[in-house]
Amino acid sequence: MGKILVTGGAGYIGSHVVKKLGEENFDILVVDNLSNGYKEAVTYGELLVGDIGDQKVLDKIFENQIDGILHFAGSIIVPESVEKPELYYQNNTENSLKLISRAVKENVKGFIFSSTAAVYGESKKEIVTEEDQVAPTNPYGASKLMTERMLQDISNVRDLNYVIFRYFNVAGSSDCGKLGIRGENATHLMKVCAQAATKKRESMTIFGTDWDTKDGTGVRDYIHVEDLADVHVLGIKHLLAGGDSALLNCGYTQGYSVKEVVSEFKKVSGVDFSAIEGERRAGDIGCLIANSEKAKSLLGWTPKKNQIETIVKSAFEWEKKI
Ligand code: UDP
């Protein structure tokens, strides 16, 4: 058996997947440029520090026999993508093409791509299936959607199967207490609330109270990072066993509003932090919830941490720790 390559394996989601793969005795090679990742987060396997956009790094990677790839490396912040679209098309689209092309050449058996619910954009439906219309409203979503298409088109004519996972809103941290979201410049709601609840910031802003949702604030489907890591392990096993390509949503089919998340954080922490009602944020949408029946039926995925209280507690405990 060859190795499993995990790009971005020192980052938030990648590091959780590396841990689960390690626990199942996979031979792992992590490649991360450490722009958002941390060496200490790589709890299994070998770490190669470098950028997958760099030809020399790709050459180094493929000195190993790579059987499967989980491709997490990329840029992930919606408002930043609006400000710096070039960066997003380079990191998420151009560099992915380099990796996919090389994977084909090197006879890699399976490729897992981390995509995003942001590809749906402002959906006409509250709960979206993989067949629903895609219409990203920001460069982040567009850059991921382009990579999905490249992977599908290439897979149609080459010997490379894929699983594309469209993540909804990932949150929480590992029970082991070693892994979670780091970084000071938080933009994601769960992280921002965790900082407010631990008094690392004085207040947080609710971006828009005039959305067409249950209480006027944005509604999202928050998924615990450990459940997300589980589905990746199932995905790579599926591909290594010769399974067909698939495009799969990852969420819980439950939507929580910004106000509901804020109030859960206040309850869990006992801290009544200030939540200021502000304007909508550029590139945002009102509501997005996943239908994830396909991931469950195809891969036998069973979410275990789908309580908002569990997710919020986990995010809060991690924030207290760091
Ligand atoms: N949000 C907010 N205040 C913040 C960060 C986010 O009100 O400080 C809202 C945002 O407008 C959206 C939801 O929380 O409705 C989730 O945003 P996040 O950035 O966490 O993820 P996204 O869905 O944009 O990928």
CATH code for position 128: 3.40.50.720
The verdict on 29 and 46 lying in the same domain is: yes
The verdict on 108 and 208 lying in the same domain is: no
Whether 140 is catalytic? yes
pLDDT at 2: 84
Residue 281 in contact with ligand 1 by CB distance below 6 A: yes
Supply the mean pLDDT for the chain: 95
The verdict on 87 and 215 lying in the same domain is: no
User: What does the pLDDT look like over 268-304, one tens digit per residue?
Assistant: 999 999 999 999 998 788 999 999 999 999 999 999 9
Residue 187 in contact with ligand 1 by CB distance below 6 A: yes
Q: Which one from 12, 44, 89, 140 is the annotated catalytic residue?
A: 140
Residue 13 in contact with ligand 1 by CB distance below 6 A: no
The verdict on 126 and 22 lying in the same domain is: yes
The verdict on 243 and 266 lying in the same domain is: no
pLDDT at 107: 96
Q: How far apart are CA 192 and CA 186, in angstroms?
A: 6
270 CA distance to ligand 1 centroid (A)?
22
Partner residues linked to 238 by β-bridges:
none
The verdict on 146 and 258 lying in the same domain is: no
The verdict on 110 and 133 lying in the same domain is: yes
284 CA distance to ligand 1 centroid (A)?
8
The verdict on 211 and 122 lying in the same domain is: no
Exposure on the CB side of residue 318, measured as CA atoms within 13 A: 26
Residue 99 in contact with ligand 1 by CB distance below 6 A: no
User: What does the pLDDT look like over 46-103, one tens digit per residue?
Assistant: 999 999 999 999 999 999 999 999 999 999 888 899 999 999 999 999 999 999 999 9
The verdict on 244 and 297 lying in the same domain is: no
The verdict on 242 and 196 lying in the same domain is: no
Q: Is the pLDDT of residue 211 over 80?
A: yes
Is 181 a domain residue?
A: no
Can you say how many angstroms the Cα of residue 67 is from the centroid of all Cα atoms in its chain?
Answer: 22
208 CA distance to ligand 1 centroid (A)?
10
Give every CB contact of residue 84 below 8 A, 6+ residues apart in sequence: none
Number of domains, the chain: 2
255 CA distance to ligand 1 centroid (A)?
13
For 200, the domain range is 189-220+253-321
Residue 238 in contact with ligand 1 by CB distance below 6 A: no
Is 236 a domain residue?
A: yes
Task: Please report, rounded to a whole number, the percentage of residues in the chain having pLDDT higher than 70.
Answer: 100
